[in-house]
Amino acid sequence: MNESFDLQGYMTEGVERVVSEAVKATLKNPRESAFMLRFAAASRNASKKRRRAEDSGEHIPPFLIASITSKCNLHCAGCYSRCSNATTDAEPVKQLTAEEWLRIFGEAEELGISFILLAGGEPMLRRDIIEAAGKKQNILFPIFTNGTYMNERYFELFDRCRNLLPVMSIEGERSVTDTRRGDGIYDKLIANMDELGRRGLIFGASVTVTTENHREVTSESFLDSLSGRGCKAVIFVEYVPVTDESRGLAPTDTEREQLMNEIQRLRKERPEMVYISFPGDEKSSGGCVAAGRGFFHINSHGGAEPCPFSPYSDVNVRGGSLREALHSPLFKALQSGNILLDDHEGGCVLYEKRELVEALLAK
Asked whether residue 4 carries a pLDDT value surpassing 60, the answer given is: no
Residue boundaries of the structural domains of the chain: 170-278
- Of 306, 309, 362, 298, give the one whose Cα is nearest residue 332: 306
Which pLDDT band, with edges at 50, 70 and 90, does 22 fall under?
confident
Please give the residue that has the higher pLDDT: either 285 or 122. Answer: 122
pLDDT of residue 103: 97
Condensed to tens digits (0 to 9), the pLDDT of residues 138-178 reads 999 999 999 999 999 999 999 999 999 999 999 999 999 99
Least confidently predicted of 43-47, 219-223, 274-278: 274-278
Q: Average of pLDDT values for 238-264? A: 83
Which pLDDT band, with edges at 50, 70 and 90, does 51 fall under?
very high
pLDDT of residue 327: 94
Condensed to tens digits (0 to 9), the pLDDT of residues 314-361 reads 999 998 999 999 999 999 999 888 788 776 555 578 877 888 888 888
Which pLDDT band, with edges at 50, 70 and 90, does 106 fall under?
very high
Mean pLDDT estimate for the chain: 88
3-state secondary structure the chain: CCCCCCHHHHHHHHHHHHHHHHHHHCCCCHHHHHHHHHHHHHHHHHHHHHHHHHHCCCCCCCEEEEECCCECCCCCCCCHHHHCCCCECCCCCCCCCHHHHHHHHHHHHHHCCCEEEEECCCHHHCHHHHHHHHCCCCCEEEEEECCCCCCHHHHHHHHHCCCEEEEEECCCCHHHHHHHHCCCHHHHHHHHHHHHHHCCCCEEEEEEECCCCCCHHHCHHHHHHHHHCCEEEEEEEECCCCCHHHHHHCCCHHHHHHHHHHHHHHHHHCCCCEEEEECCCCCCCCCCCCCCCCEEEECCCCEEECECCECCCCCEHHHCCHHHHHCCHHHHHHHHCCHHHCCCCCCCHHHHCHHHHHHHHHC
Tell me the CATH number for domain 170-278.
Answer: 3.80.30.10
